Amino acid sequence: MLTAFLSHKDCELHDMGGGHPESPLRIAAIRDYLMERQLWDVLNHIDAPKIDKKHLYRVHSRDYVDSIYRRFPSKKMQSLGEDMVANQYTLDAALRSAGAVCKAIDLVLSGDANNAFCSVRPPGHHAEKSRAMGFCVFSNVAVGAAYAIHKHALTRVAILDFDVHHGNGTENILQYDERVLFCSSFQYPFYPFVIPDQTRSNIVHTPMHAGTCSQEFRQWISETWLPKLRAFSPQLILISAGFDAHQADPLADVFLDERDYGWITDEINSVAQASCAGCIVSSLEGGYDLTALSRSVYQHIKSLAGV
């Protein structure tokens, strides 16, 4: 299978400073490990383009998007919101992160790639309609879902978020859109410390206690996500791929290992093959232990690429 790998050097220039865990080293660690394991050359490498502002307006408020643009160019470090610090490269990196997801969607829906991984930062799933937060500026995957619905006239887009934190931004933006199924597993109670509304039929929450192990994780995903996903029969699957539920991650207390990311990708891929010819676009969210991150991404992409 041909797997596209989208990234850009701008994503390594955005830096929140002071040894912040959401660091440019994450992108480099992923690249180095994929090269070391000889998976790098199997992938179709594509530079992530900057997204056009009009695609951001579909999911973020016009005031919010314009307020972010007005802050750049700037040579100074600045706060864009709760837990979101920008340097002079942050806007370009954020535009390329959302742009990567939309470009990847074009590639898989046109058949130019079977599936795709976007190795980008800043991540996106905490960014809400009108605010940056949690290391995120634009909601990359939500922007992608809206793009797929409008540009490609899709009516069933699934978003699967296995980051250890709740995808509050994605949910904030898309929860009332019945064309979207959103599944999120997360340590609870945990950042961003809100109690999500569990009443909507297109939203699936899989809360996990501190200390959740591989066996529990696999059981809960099998029981709460997969039947719902099969019944939804998505035309496209987007993955908010956070790898911070790994036992080595410094920001959480869930005890997965890298093989669990291979397992969940296999499971998602099997539904994708049956419902949408394998169309999956995955975008990097969290994952802050560089060794665990790179090994987990390797398992994830190895499954996507069918290697």
Judged by the rule CB under 5 A, the positions of this chain that interact with Zn ion are 163, 165, 242, 244, 286
- End-to-end CA distance of the chain, in Å? 8
Q: Which is nearer to Zn ion, 81 or 242 (CB)?
A: 242
Q: Which is nearer to Zn ion, 115 or 240 (CB)?
A: 240
Look at residues 156, 253, 243 and name the one whose alpha carbon lies nearest to residue 210: 253
Provide, rounded to whole angstroms, the least separation between the CB of residue 82 and Zn ion: 14
Residue 142 near residue 240, CB atoms below 8 Å: no
Provide, rounded to whole angstroms, the least separation between the CB of residue 243 and Zn ion: 9
CA angle, corner 165, sides to 161 and 170, nearest 5?
50
Rg of the chain over CA atoms, in angstroms? Answer: 17
Q: What is the DSSP string of 82-112?
A: ETEEE-TTHHHHHHHHHHHHHHHHHHHHHTS
Q: Which is nearer to Zn ion, 163 or 171 (CB)?
A: 163
- From the list 8, 55, 126, 300, the catalytic residue is 126
> Is residue 126 annotated as part of the catalytic site, yes or no?
yes
The tokens for 261 are 């990311």
Residues 6+ apart with CB under 8 A from 228: 181, 183, 204
Q: Which is nearer to Zn ion, 39 or 251 (CB)?
A: 251
Q: Which is nearer to Zn ion, 113 or 118 (CB)?
A: 118
Provide, rounded to whole angstroms, the least separation between the CB of residue 241 and Zn ion: 10
Provide, rounded to whole angstroms, the least separation between the CB of residue 275 and Zn ion: 27
Provide, rounded to whole angstroms, the least separation between the CB of residue 287 and Zn ion: 8
Residue of this chain nearest to Zn ion (CB atom): 286
Q: Which residues pair with 204 in a beta bridge?
A: 183
Provide, rounded to whole angstroms, the least separation between the CB of residue 286 and Zn ion: 3
Report the alpha-carbon distance of residue 123 to residue 289 in Å, rounded: 16
Q: What are phi and psi of 205, to 5 degrees?
A: -105, 135
Query: Residues 53, 69, 171, 49: is their CA dihedral positive or negative?
Result: positive
State the DSSP code for 242.
Answer: -
Cis omega before residue 207 (within 30°)?
no
Q: Which is nearer to Zn ion, 234 or 286 (CB)?
A: 286
Residues acting as catalytic residues: 126
